[in-house]
Amino acid sequence: MPPQQKFIDAHRRLERDTPTLPESVETPLPTPVFPGDRVNGNRVEDTPCERRHYHLDGLVWTGSIPFFPDEASAQIRQWEHVHGLRQAFVAQVDLLDPDIETALDYYVGMERITGVRQLMAWDQVQLPCRPGSINLLVDPLWRKRLELLKRYDFRFGIEVLAYQLPNIVSVVRACPEIGFTIEPMGWPLNGDGENYARWKRGLADLADCDNVRVDVCALERVFGVRWSFELASTWITAAIETIGVSRCMFASHMTASEAASGLAAMLARYGRLTQQYSESEADSLFYRVADRWFRPE
């Protein structure tokens, strides 16, 4: 990563909600348990000391934000004080929650909250990976509730697996007024030729939708904690070339990604990936797309 390159980390975790288990596989998913479910989330005390070494300009935090005005405001002020950077927040929601309208009205009044997100990963092959989950993308009630987001200026982060790309394409096309953040780059599931081609077709369909941005993040969850650059770069480059450098953004998933490589190694790998791009294109991936999309302050 060039020393003068500004970077907005477009996906940092707010929660510490899972136990630590640092070992995982080096092959693409599926695995019996998602690797990222077994490493630590983020904490306020995990101050990004890497700011001393890189031009880290902003953070986009994702996770659960307290649903109590005084507590949430105090929490956000604490995060801002600790890190001293421009920040934006993406609040975890469930569109099927009976109180979702109250929640959205609440979050829209909060400073720095510029997006909401929902975890939608549903594995049609290895259902035990997500016990009790369903493919919400084809659920009529969920799709009706999605219409609520048209009232707000939120980006909607949506974590889906490669199997679900055809479903998310139909959702995105039906809601051009909503800006969708696809995490993490449509989650490729394994490296055989058939699945790779299916994943690329899904991304190509998404590329026709102007209301989509793709988050290149959480690579330790997609490719395993001990992920290899050679394996991941094929998929990352394909995602960037398919969607376009003006609509993709680099991010970490810290501190979960610390178990995989740490920020320094991750940025070095992103830097290697951008050697084929112009200075302006690299700036889009590291900084400009996230800055315009999430609007950190």
pLDDT 10s digits, 236-269: 999 999 999 999 999 988 765 555 567 777 888 8
CA nearest 110: which of 152, 58, 147, 47?
A: 152
Beta-strand pair 212-216/248-250: parallel
Using left for φ > 0, alpha for ψ between -120 and 50, and beta otherwise, residue 187 falls in: left
Beta-strand pair 248-250/155-159: unpaired
Look at residue 227 and give its three-state secondary structure. coil
State CA 81 to chain mean position distance. 24
Q: Is the entire prediction scored with pTM above 0.85?
A: no
Say yes or no to pLDDT of 43 above 60: no
Say yes or no to pLDDT of 147 above 50: yes
Q: Could you tell me the domains of the chain?
A: 6-294 (3.20.20.140)
Say yes or no to pLDDT of 129 above 80: no
Per residue in 53-84, pLDDT (tens digit) is 568 889 898 888 766 656 666 666 766 666 67
Q: Please check whether residue 251 is in contact with residue 290, taking contact to mean a CB–CB distance below 8 angstroms.
A: yes
| pLDDT value of residue 33 | 32
Query: Kind and range of the H or E element at 60?
Result: strand 55-63
Question: In this prediction, what percent of the chain has a pLDDT beyond 90?
Answer: 41
